[in-house]
Amino acid sequence: MKRIALLGMPNTGKSTLFNRISGASARVGNWPGITVDLMSAKILIGGHIAELIDLPGIYDLHGFSDDEQVVRHFLANNAVDLVIVLLNSSQIDRQLSLVLQIKKLQLPAVLALNMADEAKQSGITIDTDSLAKSLQMPVMQISAKYGDGLPKALQAATQIINQNQPATNPQMISQLLQEDNQIEQEMDALIKHHVQIPTTLTDNTTDKIDQILLHKWFGLPIFFAAMYVLFQFIFTAGKPLQDGLAWILQLFRTHLLAPIFASSPAWFSGLMLDGIYNGVATVAAFVPIIVLFFLVMSMVEDSGYLSRAAFLMDALMAKMGLDGRGFVMMLMGFGCNVPALMGTRIMRSRPMRLLTMLVIPLSLCSARLQVFIFIITALFAAKQAPIILFTLYVMSFLTMFLTALLFQGQYKNAEPFILELPPYRFPTLRQIALRGWHEVKYFLIRASKFIVIGVVLVWAMTNFPTNVPPASVGTLAGQIGALFAPVLDPLGINNQLAIALIFGFVAKEIVIGALAVIYGLQGDALMAHMATQIDWVQAMSFMLFTLIYTPCLSTIATLKSESKSSGFMWLSIAWSLGLAWVVSFVFYQTARWLGH
Amino acid sequence: MRFLSQLQIGQRAVIAAIEAEESLFHRLSALGFRVGKPLSIIRRANFNGPLHVRLGTTDVILRGTEAARIQVSIS
């Protein structure tokens, strides 16, 4: 099979071009020795089936960033039949260097000049024919967004593929990569001969928008207002979708699955319905949120606003070893941790990305909010309720900052903070829809197995042995709770609450349901009973623990699949459990010592 | 001769020298920071935040620590 690599600098529309060529068929591929995900797709080109690989956006083949190393590693270990180099036409004066670097590697290449419309507006004219002659490779103007010029570019690619040149020898590439070549003068000469660039740019729409959005005093308030609106949109539009999906799944269960398993032994129907089917339902609940999240995020990202957010928030975030883009994801974590973790992929430096991923699970997500509202209603007066909830939000922020400060030395970001501010652009609907689709597919493939197994495990723990009532102190979960009693007693967390915490590993949404099963009561009766069983100090300690320890199985699964490291996943679990214990301990003992 | 980090908003200058380790140097040159290139400062974020610099057709943001590695002469 032929192999075609797509290469370009960041913000040149490379992923857009990739999506345009590959459509919805793209998948995330694994490549030996590479720690980031590379999208690839099988495409038909000139009668051959070829594999098209979307390499990360890089500035320089000889650079030192994680992505630049990935590209070098890829080219030095995989034979490539053709490289399609994509450049932003209006920045050809500096982006041409990448083409020259590829040419030095003697890789067969086609040069695609994207965003020809923007270049035209800026008064930049490129003589593609003469440039092609000098470069000795086909040069095409295309629009990745709308597909203009693409057939011609693919035709040129087909011709090269059909020449059936022997694929490049990766070892030779590896050798050539080590030789640093002086190409600056060559680039300048080419630009001088084939490109005309006006001294001042004529298009200033972006400047005008920036004057408002990056305003010295209005910039930050506008940013927070925009984030608030997007946040509300994702999670208020997501709620009815999640509820509808849950309703359909429940309908399916009561009318179709329950009758099927009615005659089978209780443990088997329990395993199928409360174990596996509940696991599937847990996975499904995330689908609407992930789609909506990436719908909004691809707009924020592709429009160019995310880099502006980085500009506005950097002064604060730099102190924590993070950057402004991480802040956007941290905010989104307050809705749901899972898409926020997936969204950290925009951060191209691995240490900084891991640090952000360590911080996000501490944000008070909407599932935890449900638990807190229930317990606060049960144990606190209406007047105190808002103060308690506010305290929990403050605690959430504090633990996030503390974690970032403590671990920033561990995850030292080696990449300089130098970002391009692209002009404002509107993504097409097709771009947005494809992004949502790819992300959901990715989540389902990578996380669903893990989540279902986890749900089944917790089901088994709370239902075995079968001669005691489910979720009682006699079950495995109850025994584990009793085993941890010496550790949990100093936090005021009794055996029943410990079982609820074990359920909480699956998802915080089910903690209230678990308490209902544990106490055998529901709704108001459960609230009244809990008020007699635990006092407010215990309740607060339980809520603090619930806030800080591992949010849910889906978050763990996402941490593992995004970091590609079980070690990192365990670190996150251990750190959050440890921190939860310390905070609850300090709170509970101090409150008791003060006589409450 | 002064550093990019010391320029005023709206001021134009020409890059005179870049003193950076190899990784930073590579990134800077890929984004168009080369000796002899003219640039101007568009804005600076509050609380000692990043600089917004324009080089030719490219707008770039960078922190003060990185800007202090670039020497400029005012045109």
| Omega before residue A465 within 30° of 0, cis | yes
Q: Quick one: pLDDT band at residue A203, thresholds 50, 70, 90?
A: low
Q: Is the distance from CB of A395 to CB of A368 less than 8 angstroms?
A: no
Mean pLDDT of A19-31: 78
Tokens (6 digits) for A327: 């802040």
Report whether pLDDT(A178) > 70: no
CA distances from A332 to A285, A363, A527 (A): 17, 9, 31
- What is d(CA A459, CA A440) in angstroms, rounded to the nearest whole number? 26
- What is d(CA B37, CA B53) in angstroms, rounded to the nearest whole number? 12
Q: Do A214 and B57 touch (CB under 8 A)?
A: no
Q: Which residues of A touch B (CB under 8 A)?
A: 9, 59-60, 62-65, 90-91, 93-94, 97, 122, 124, 184, 197, 201, 206, 210, 214, 216-217, 219-220, 307, 310-312, 314-316, 318, 414-422
Q: Tell me the three state secondary structure of residue B52.
A: strand
**Strand-strand pairing, A38-45 and A27-29:** antiparallel
Phi and psi (nearest 5°) for A130? -70, -35
One-letter amino acid at A492 equals G
Report whether pLDDT(A523) > 60: yes
Q: Do A416 and B62 touch (CB under 8 A)?
A: yes
The CATH T-level fold of domain A2-202 is: Rossmann fold (3.40.50)
Number of domains in chain B: 1
Helix (H) or strand (E) holding A40: strand A38-45
Q: Do B63 and A318 touch (CB under 8 A)?
A: yes
Average pLDDT, chain A: 87
**Strand-strand pairing, B51-55 and A82-88:** unpaired
Report whether pLDDT(A467) > 60: yes
* Number of Cβ within a 10 Å radius of residue A540: 24
pLDDT digits (tens, 9 = 90+) for A499-519: 889 888 888 878 887 887 788
Strand-pair partners of B39: B13
Q: What interface predicted TM-score (ipTM) does this complex get?
A: 0.94
DSSP states of A137-159 as a string?
S-EEE--TTT-TTHHHHHHHHHH
Burial A76-85 (b: 16+ CB within 10 A, else e): bebebbbbbb
- What is d(CA A180, CA A4) in angstroms, rounded to the nearest whole number? 24
Tell me, yes or no, if B58 comes closer than 8 A to chain A by beta carbon.
Answer: yes
Q: Do B49 and A315 touch (CB under 8 A)?
A: yes
Report whether pLDDT(A199) > 70: no
Report whether pLDDT(A575) > 70: yes
Candidates A404, A415, A60; CA nearest to B62 is: A415
The shortest CB-CB distance from B30 to any of A59, A210, A216 is to: A59
Q: Quick one: pLDDT band at residue A88, thresholds 50, 70, 90?
A: very high
Any idea what the Cα angle at residue B54 is, between residues B50 and B57, rounded to 5°?
Answer: 140
The residue range of the domain holding B32 is: 2-74
Cβ contacts of B47 within 8 Å, gap of 6 or more: A315, A316
pLDDT digits (tens, 9 = 90+) for A205-230: 888 999 999 998 999 999 999 989 99
CATH code of the domain containing B47: 2.30.30.90
Strand-pair partners of A45: A48
Q: Do A420 and B22 touch (CB under 8 A)?
A: no
Cβ contacts of A164 within 8 Å, gap of 6 or more: none
Tokens (6 digits) for B66: 């990185």
Residue with tokens 């038909």: A44
Domain ranges of chain A: 2-202, 452-593
Question: What's the pTM?
Answer: 0.85
Q: What is the CA radius of gyration of chain B?
A: 11
- What is d(CA A43, CA A157) in angstroms, rounded to the nearest whole number? 12
pLDDT of residue B26: 81
